[in-house]
Amino acid sequence: MGGGGNMSTPTTKTTEQKKNPLERVPISKPPFIIGDIKKVIPPHCFQPSLVRSFSYLIQDLMLVSVSYYIASTYFHILPSMLAWPIYWIVVGCVCTGIWFIAHECSHNAFSKYKWINDTIGFILHSALLTPYFSWKYSHRRHHSNTNSLEYDENHVPKVKTKLRWYTKLYVNNPLGRLFILAFTLTIGLPLYYAINVTGRPYDHFTSHYYPYSPIYNDRKRLQIYISDVGVVATIYVLYRVALTKGLAWVICIYGVPLLIVNGFVVLITLLHHTHPSLPHYDSSEWDWLRGALATVDRDYGVLNKVFHNITDTHVLHHLFSNIPHYHAMEATKAMRPLLGEYYQFDGTPFYKAIWRDFECIYVEKDESSLDKGIFWYKNNF
């Protein structure tokens, strides 16, 4: 699985000096291996602390609890047009951080104890209507096959010849692009769980709720049932609350923040793997290290901390997913000199980047690499 030539035209020696974040990353085989990267990262970065991990979780849960107390106690005397949006934004963003703590549990980065990781992850993801074990196993497939056109598990780009007929309706059409973007951010994640929208195509029906989906083998099917029970239990609790407090109360307290969580999870994932500078590979070119390196760190401002740095340390996460978030910045800084131009960072504000990078419609070979299995994002017809 040779890497081919380097089609990028680097103008600088280090990532820090790189002025154009849209410049393509190198596609040649890196002059280092994963063991070399691990050696430059301080050993303590690989050691999760149960106490420290719980401290971040407790902090987030306290913020949600205080917000709920204020909403349930004082919002009837505060201007609702101002108070509710503030509540939705705060709770939605903090719960996004909680979602990513559960994500960290799935990678055994929360603690050294697998049963604790899975218990905490199951409770947190179930509370946010994510089927924990189902998603955990499909997500691991994503990490094992990142940027493989045949085997990556989600946000798999289409080649031009396989585009749907309606794609042209929103290409270079601001109104159409806005509609598709809003659709993706609001119900994209539930549709991914339910019917594998944007997921790897399979020959049979695929759903994170269906234990016999082709994603899962026989040893995992019981855990898929358990994931379903967790989601159903949360829905039942919400139903009982709605009977007591009313549907409008449940929507305001839980529903709108959940929409924000789902939107950010999709947005973060999309922006990490959709970028004009990043290649995708077919089976003739793909290898794990080059696939893992072909992702991009982003800057979400203050939300970097709220989201526990999944946003600005994602390259590291694809190389060493067992490093806890509170060591991720240190580890990223340690490995960047070694990665050099193979490390990609784009500081474009996320609200601008999503509009720009949502134009990455399909992938296609360059004329200079028609004999290689290397594909780049395009949007012209």
| Segment 258-272, tens digit of pLDDT | 999 999 999 999 999
Q: Give the percent of the chain with pLDDT over 90.
A: 77
Q: What is the DSSP string of 8-72?
A: -----SSGGG---TTSPPP-SPPSS-HHHHHHHS-GGGG---HHHHHHHHHHHHHHHHHHHHHHH
Query: Is residue 143 classed exposed, middle or buried when 0-12, 13-18 and 19+ CB atoms within 10 A define those classes?
Result: middle
Indicate if the pLDDT at residue 291 is higher than 60. Answer: yes
Q: Between these two residues, 317 and 13, which has the higher pLDDT value?
A: 317
Determine how β-strand 345-346 pairs with β-strand 297-298.
parallel
Q: Which two tokens stand for residue 212?
A: 């016999």
| Average pLDDT for 222-240 | 98
Whole-structure pTM value: 0.92
Average pLDDT, the chain: 91
How high is the pLDDT of residue 299?
96
Q: Between these two residues, 166 and 358, which has the higher pLDDT value?
A: 358
